[in-house]
Amino acid sequence: MSLRSPEQRMAELRETIAHHDELYYRQAKPEITDQQYDELKRELADLEEENPLLAMMDSPTQKVGDDRSEGFQSYTHRERMMSLDNTYSGDEMREFLARMERELERTELTYFIEPKIDGLAVSVTYENGRMVRAVTRGNGIAGDDITANARTIRTLPSQLQADAGAPIPELIEIRGEIFLTNEEFQRINEEREEAGEALYANPRNLAAGTIKQLDPTVVAQRKLEIVLYGRGYTEPVAALPETQKRFFDWVRAWGLPTVANQWSAHSGDEVLAAISELDDLRHDLPYPTDGAVVKLDSVALQRTLGATSKAPRWAMAYKFEAERAETELKSISIQVGRTGVLTPVAELAPVQLAGTTVSRATLHNRDEIARKDIRVGDFVSVEKAGEIIPAVIAVNLDKRRPECVPYAFPEACPVCTAPTVQLEGEVAVRCPNLECPVQVRRRVQHFASRACLDIEGLGEAMVDQLAEKGWVKRLPDLYQLDRENLLTLGKNVGKSTDKLLAGIEASKTSELWRFIHGLGITHVGAAAAKDLARVFGGLRALADATMEDYIRDKETVISGIGSTMAEAITGYFAVEANRAVIDDLITLGVEPETPNSEGGGTKFAGQTFVLTGTLPTLTRNEAAEMIEAQGGKVSGSVSKKTSYLVAGAEAGSKLAKAEKLKVQVLDEAQLRSMLSGD
C-alpha cells in the first residue's frame, strides 16, 4: 500500500506528465506508449475527482499539450483547436453515447465514425479558396506557423476546386492531420538501416519531427501526407452544411484529401460494430491509425453540447489496445553501419504479433538497453511501434532467471575488432576504423547508389566481391580497378566489366552535390549536399572550410546548415584519412560538375535572397529554384549579408528585421522583373 498522500501523488503525476508532454509534443521522442501516458492522465483525473480541493486550474487534465517550438512564428487560431477525450473501453464508449442522449433528451441520434490518424494535428486556412496558412495545434489557442513546410506536401492543394454542390466559404480553417504513410516510413528506415543509423521509432514521431524542420527542402525529401476532416472558424458562419458527413463530402469536392473509410451509426451497437470493422481493416490501411473517432453527426446538436476547456462534449476517440506479445530474448546481435554505428538487435523466439511472425526487434542503442535493463534470456514484451517496427517495450521481471546477467555492450567492433568510441553528445557507439570491411561495403554501396553517383553495374553483389577481394578499401580505389582482375570474377563478364568501368569513368564528372552526398558525412543528405555544392563550388574548398564559414556571429551562414551539421562536416574533414580521400579523388581525375557550370545563369551570382510570407502566384520553393537557377543563394534568415528580402502577404518578423538592417525588400513582381533582366 502506498504511503504517499493524494496531494503528493497528484504533484508527482503532474510532474511526470509534464516530462512526457515535453518529449511527445515538442521533441517527438516519447519514452512511453500512448496507453501508458493515458493511464497516467486517467489516474490524475480520478484523484482530482476524489479530491476537488486539490485540483488545479492548469492541470494536464484541463489543457491541450503544447507542440510549439523555437524557430517558428506563433499564430493564434481564430477558433480554439481542441483535443479529444479518449477511451479504450467499449462500456465507456456506450456511456459517452448515453450521456449525449440524456443531455439532449433524445434517443435517436446519428453518429459519424472515422479512423483516428496517428499524426500531427494541423489547421489549414483558405481565403476565397486559396491556401494562406497552416498552423499546428500548439496549445489549442496558438500554434506554430508551418505554412512553408506544409506547401511541400504534394496532396495539399494551394487552391480549392470549385463545385456547385459545395460552395467555397470566404474564409475557413479546416482541421486535419499530417502523417507519413507506412510505405514511406519503411523506405526511410530501410535507408537508415543500410547506413547503420538508428531507426525512427514510429511514423507519428517522424512526421512531427519532419514538419518542424526549419528548412522546407529537408521536409520535401520526406513525402508527408495530410488528411482534412474538421471544421474550424468559418466566414460566413452559415456557409457550411449542418452534418459532419455532409461536410466530409464538401471537403472531398473541394479536392482536399480525406480519410477513405467512414461509417454512420444510430446506436451504441452500430458504433461498436463500426469500430470493430475498422480494427479488422487497420493493418491493411496505407496510413498509421491507432483508433476510431466517434462524432455526433448534427452540427446544431454539437453546438448545443458545447465543450470543456480542452475537448468537445460531442466527440470521443476510441483507442485500440497496443498489440503486444511476450517472448524470450535469445540473444543480442550487433549490426555495423556505413558510418560505423553499432546498432543492437534483439534476436527473439518467434512469436505472432499483429498478423505476422516476429523474430527480431530493435533495441535502438546501448543507453536504451541499460535504461530498460534488458538481458539475454529475459522474457520481454514486444510491440509493433506504429504498427510497423517491432520494438522491445519492457522486461517481465517475474520471469527473470538467475543466469540472466546485465548485457555488456561490445567494447570492440564485432567485425574488425577495433576499439569502439562514443562521441561527446551522441548516444551512438561507433567503430572508428574506416577500413572495417562492413563499413567499406556500405560506404561504397552508398557512394555508387542512385541517390549519389548512380554508377551502373556497381550494385550490392559487385561491391561485396570487390571488398572481399580487397580491391576496394577506400572510395578512390574504385577509379583504379584493373580490367584484367575484374575479368576473373566469372565467365563471359567482358561486356559487364566494360560497362562497369565506363560507368565509373563517367561518374568523374557527375554533379558536385552527388560526390558530397556520396562521402557519407553524418547528417548531410541530398538537400544539404546541394547547398554545400552551391556555396563552395568544389571538393577542395569544402574540405578546407572552417566553422566560421558556417556559423558567424552566432548566425547560420548557409541556409539549412546549423551548428550540428557544421560540426559534423568540419569534424569529418579534420580526419586526415578523409582529407586524403579528397586529394586522391582529385589526383585520379575526378572533376565534378559545379552548379551553373552548364547552362545556368549568373545574374544573381554572389547575392543572397531571403523569402518570407505568401507570394501571389509562386510558392517559396518555386521562387527559390528560379533564384538559384540564376546563381543566387537562398537563405532562411535575414542578416547583414542578405542582398534582398522577397516578401509576400503576412511577411512577419523577417520583414521587420530586413527594414531594421536596411535590406532592400522586393515583391514578387519586382523579383520577376529582375529575373527577366529588367
pLDDT digits (tens, 9 = 90+) for 231-247: 999 998 778 899 999 99
Question: Confidence band (pLDDT; 50, 70, 90) for 119?
Answer: confident
CA angle 560, 564, 565 (to 5 degrees): 50
What is the residue-averaged pLDDT of the chain?
86
For 458, list phi and psi in degrees, rounded to 5: -105, 65
pLDDT at 344: 93
Cell 474538421 locates to: 230
Question: Confidence band (pLDDT; 50, 70, 90) for 1?
Answer: very low
- Is the confidence at residue 402, as pLDDT, over 80? yes
CB 207 within 8 A of CB 179: yes
What residue ranges define each of the domains in the chain, with the CATH number in brackets? 6-62 (1.10.287.610), 74-188+199-319 (3.30.470.30), 324-399 (2.40.50.140), 437-509 (1.10.150.20), 512-587 (1.10.150.20), 608-675 (3.40.50.10190)
Buried b (16+ CB within 10 A) or exposed e, 121-145: bbbbbbbebebbbbbbbbbbebbbb
Residue 30 is placed in which grid cell? 516519447
Residue 61 is placed in which grid cell? 487534465
What percent of the chain has pLDDT above 90? 44
pLDDT at 676: 82
Residue 477 is placed in which grid cell? 580505389
29, 116, 491, 641: the active-site residue: 116
Residue 116 bears catalytic tag: yes
pLDDT at 378: 96
3-state SS assignment for residue 374: coil
Largest CA distance in the chain: 89
What percent of the chain has pLDDT above 70? 93
Q: What is the separation of C-alpha 151 from the centre of its chain, rounded to a whole number of angstroms?
A: 15
**Can you tell me the distance from the alpha carbon of 507 to that of 589, in angstroms, rounded to the nearest whole number?**
10
Residue type, 43: E
Stronger pLDDT, 204 or 578, i.e. the higher one: 578
Stronger pLDDT, 486 or 357, i.e. the higher one: 486
CA angle 433, 435, 437 (to 5 degrees): 110
- Is the confidence at residue 200, as pLDDT, over 90? no
- Is the confidence at residue 355, as pLDDT, over 90? no
pLDDT at 599: 47
Tell me the pLDDT tens digit for each residue of 63-103.
777 778 777 888 999 999 998 999 999 999 999 999 999 99
pLDDT at 621: 64
- Is the confidence at residue 597, as pLDDT, over 50? no
Question: Confidence band (pLDDT; 50, 70, 90) for 600?
Answer: low
For 418, list phi and psi in degrees, rounded to 5: -65, 140
Across 36-40, 314-318, 594-598, least confident range? 594-598
Buried b (16+ CB within 10 A) or exposed e, 190-216: eebbebbbbbbbbbbbbbbebbbbbbb
- Is the confidence at residue 373, as pLDDT, over 90? yes
Question: Confidence band (pLDDT; 50, 70, 90) for 636?
Answer: low
CA distances 421 to 339, 413, 437, 563, 594, Å, are: 12, 10, 17, 22, 36
Stronger pLDDT, 301 or 215, i.e. the higher one: 301
pLDDT at 472: 93
- Is the confidence at residue 556, as pLDDT, over 80? no
**Can you tell me the distance from the alpha carbon of 572 to that of 340, in angstroms, rounded to the nearest whole number?**
13
Which pTM was predicted?
0.57
CB 361 within 8 A of CB 345: yes
Question: Where on the phi/psi map is residue 266: left (φ > 0), alpha (ψ -120 to 50), or beta?
Answer: alpha
